[in-house]
Amino acid sequence: MKKQILVTCFIAGGLARAVSVNAQGAAPFSANNKTVKVIVSEKVAGYKFTPTETLQFKDSPQPAETDVSVFVDPAKSFQTMLGIGGALTDASAETFYKLPKDKQKEFLTAYYDKEKGIGYTMGRTNIQSCDFSSSSYGYVKEGDADLKTFDISHDKTYRIPFIKAATAAAGGKLNLFVSPWSPPAFMKDNNDVLHGGRLKPEFDQSWANFYVKFIKAYEKEGVPIWGLTVQNEPMAKQTWESCMYTAEEERDFVKNFLGPTLQKQGLADKKLIVWDHNRDLLYQRASTILEDPEAAKYIWGVGFHWYETWTGAGQQFEATRRVHESFPDKNLIFTEGCIEKFDIAKINDWAIGERYGLSMINDFNAGTVAWTDWNILLDEKGGPNHVGNFCFAPIHADTKTGSLIYTASYYYLGHFSKYIQPGAKRISAVASRDKLLTTAYQNPDGKLAIIVMNQTDEKIDYSLWIKGKAAKTTSLPHSIATLIVE
């Protein structure tokens, strides 16, 4: 017998009634009379979001040790999916407007259409220039600490129209967060928007005011802003736009300037995200900031990237798990990732997609609520980029021919964003063999979306097992599958 609890619900008019629910607050899930639709993308046969079979459940009270299984328990639910998306940078916008109109439409459909595309619902963009801009630029004149010359005219040519087009393609709503790469040069101790440097203390308030100016200017142009990060990669001295903060410096800037300024200016509803850098220092940064209640009260979540691999190490998923365990009241959001060092000869490399699948499964299983890729579109050179820091994107445009090139990462991202809806609850899922990676969600309509990824060269027969019922299938080599239980 299922354990049930009695909940007293107060409803309009002051009436109360008792409702019987299970310990997770919902009716128990049963696989009886359910089918499983299997949708696959893989390396060899050319499957791309291809429905391959429909499975039936059969009684399976106890799997054998020799059986390979993916165990899913909808009775155990965790974080709510906020959304998945990509960054709408200057480089993406400029490349988009080099495409012919029919390819622009194809591109927007591919990313944002919920049926024909992969249904992106999140976005990120830069405050002033970043490496993925054609040149460095700013919004105020040199020395203008009062921001009287603040002007976003630069962005009205490509980036703002691009963001509006993407938002319209997404059905009119896109959760967009914004990130600065550097304050103006005169506000920094190196007098340069490039090469790191630090914000001078005398400009703390002026810089906090700058975020407000940007958000209000964009919203005046019809681009709603959902959230913001304090600083892109605050521990990296880059050849491009960058600015460094220690954990204590970021904490104190949020506590004493940015947090209070957002509140005073009527922007307390904007989701404020700290760190926005790699997983390797994630716990140190999060603990330093969030253990200060006067800073933590302003903070919605902690953002992270995946470039800790620059050291030659792997992705540090344990850091993400420790932050979620230690600060469960704050949100984890993946704010940037891409495959670096663009090489057109590798444009069809399937491993590009597998890097995404590995990260997304582990990040979501660690408690992450949203996942945002880097540039949503780049050209055939992996740019434009004003410092030669060329990278891969899920879709590239060949601006010479006007064609679009879809990389494997587009399909791997889509196996999550297309089938796991905002509002879905992550549920317990685990494979009995480490050759299969898995995560699972229950969508708001009650259907289950289970991701199963196979990075090996082997076909792996396995059963999807839910509460004494099992459906048998095969995971193809180098594949990612979404299993929809309905």
pLDDT digits (tens, 9 = 90+) for 174-200: 999 999 999 999 999 999 999 999 999
Q: Does residue 21 carry a pLDDT above 70?
A: no
How far apart CA 274 and CA 267 sit, in angstroms, is 16
Number of CB atoms found within 10 A of residue 10's CB: 9
Q: Is residue 260 part of a domain?
A: yes
One domain for residues 74 and 91: no
Q: What pLDDT is stored for residue 70 in this prediction? A: 98
* Residues 426-453: tens digit of each pLDDT: 999 999 999 999 999 999 999 999 999 9
Main-chain phi, psi angles of 40, to 5 degrees:
-130, 140
> The pTM is what?
0.94
Q: Of all residues in the chain, what percent carry a pLDDT higher than 90?
A: 94
Q: What CA–CA distances, in Å, run from 67 to 319, 461, 470?
A: 32, 9, 11
C-alpha distances out from residue 193 to 180, 184, 197, 238, Å? 11, 6, 8, 10
Residues 302 and 198 both lie in one domain: yes
Q: How many CB atoms lie within 10 A of CB 396?
A: 24
pLDDT of 354 higher than 50: yes
Show which of 374, 391, 422 is a domain's final residue.
422
Amino acid found at 308:
E
* Average pLDDT rounded to a whole number, residues 363-381: 98
pLDDT in the model for residue 28? 84
d(CA 360, CA 262): 31
- For residue 25, tell me if it sits in a domain: no
Q: Is residue 17 part of a domain?
A: no
53 beta partners:
38
- Nearest residue to 475 via CA among 71, 65, 41: 41
Q: What is the mean pLDDT of residues 29-34?
A: 94
One domain, residues 274 and 371: yes
* Residue 468 and residue 350 in one domain: no
Q: How confident is the model at residue 211 (pLDDT cuts 50, 70, 90)?
A: very high
- The domain tally of the chain equals 2
Specify whether 335 is located in the same domain as 476.
Answer: no
Same-domain status, 307 and 203 = yes
pLDDT at 129 over 70: yes
Task: Please give the residue range of the domain that contains residue 64.
Answer: 35-79+427-485
Q: Are residues 369 and 446 in the same domain?
A: no
* Cα–Cα dist 363/367, whole Å: 7
**Final residue in a domain of this structure, among 374, 394, 422:** 422
Residues 136 and 157 in one domain: yes
Kindly report the CATH number assigned to the domain that includes residue 130: 3.20.20.80
On whether the CB atoms of residues 305 and 368 are closer than 8 A, the answer is no
pLDDT digits (tens, 9 = 90+) for 213-264: 999 999 999 999 999 999 999 999 999 999 999 999 999 999 999 999 999 9
What value does the CA radius of gyration of the chain take, rounded to a whole number of Å?
23
Q: How far apart are CA 484 and CA 486, in angstroms?
A: 6
The token pair that represents 80 in the structure block: 């709510």
Catalytic residues: 233, 336
18 in a structural domain: no
DSSP assignment of 215-247: HHHHHHTT----EEES-SSTT---SSB-----H
3-class SS at 478?
coil
Residues 442 and 394 in one domain: no
45 CB-near residues (< 8 Å, 6+ apart):
476
Domain's final residue, options 377, 394, 422: 422
The string of DSSP letters for 3-66 reads -EEEEEEE-GGG-EEEEEEETTSSPPP--TT-EEEEEEEESSS--SSEEEEEEE-EE-SS--TT
CA distance 235 to 36: 46
Looking at per-residue confidence, does 55 or 26 come out higher?
A: 55
Arithmetic mean of pLDDT over the chain: 95
**Residue 11 counted as domain residue:** no
Look at residue 23 and tell me whether its pLDDT is greater than 60.
Answer: no
Question: What's residue 277's pLDDT?
Answer: 98
Domain membership flag for residue 24? no
Residues 38 and 462: beta-carbon distance below 8 Å: no
Q: What is the pLDDT of residue 233?
A: 98
Query: 107 with 99: CB under 8 angstroms?
Result: yes
Max CA distance (Å), the chain: 73
Residue whose pair of structure tokens reads 């792996």 in the numeric block: 460
In a domain, 218, yes or no: yes
How many CB atoms are closer than 10 A to CB 369?
20
CATH code of residue 466:
2.60.40.1180
Specify whether the CB–CB gap between 452 and 438 falls below 8 A.
Answer: yes
Contact 411, 49 (CB under 8 A): yes
Judge if 331 and 464 occupy the same domain: no
pLDDT per residue as tens digits for the range 281-321:
999 999 999 999 999 999 999 999 999 999 999 999 999 99
Pick the closest to residue 125 from 171, 91, 83, 81 (CA basis): 91
The answer to whether residues 54 and 139 belong to one domain is no
In a domain, 392, yes or no: yes
pLDDT above 70 covers a percentage of the chain that reads 95
SS3 78: strand
Same domain for 442 and 389: no
